Amino acid sequence: MEIEFPNGKNLRLLIGDITKIRVDAMVNAANSALAGGGGVDGAIHRAGGSAIMRDLDVIRQQQGGCPTGSAVATTAGSLPAQYVFHAVGPIYRDGRQGEAENLASCYSTCLKLAEERGARSVSFPSISTGAYGYPMEEAARIALRTIGEQLREQDAGVREVLLVLYDQGSYDVHSRAAQALFADRIK
41 is known as an active-site residue: yes
- Partners of 28 in beta bridges: 86
Classify residue 38 by burial, with Cβ atoms within 10 Å: 0-12, 13-18, 19+: exposed
Assign 141 to helix, strand or coil.
Answer: helix
Q: Which residues contact 144 (CB under 8 A, 6 or more apart)?
A: 11, 163, 174, 177, 178, 181, 182
Strands 71-75 and 160-165: unpaired
> Closest Cα partner for 164 from 130, 132, 125?
125
CB atoms < 10 A from the CB of 48, how many?
Answer: 23
Task: Determine which one of 41, 55, 94, 184 is catalytic.
Answer: 41
**Catalytically active residues, by annotation:** 41
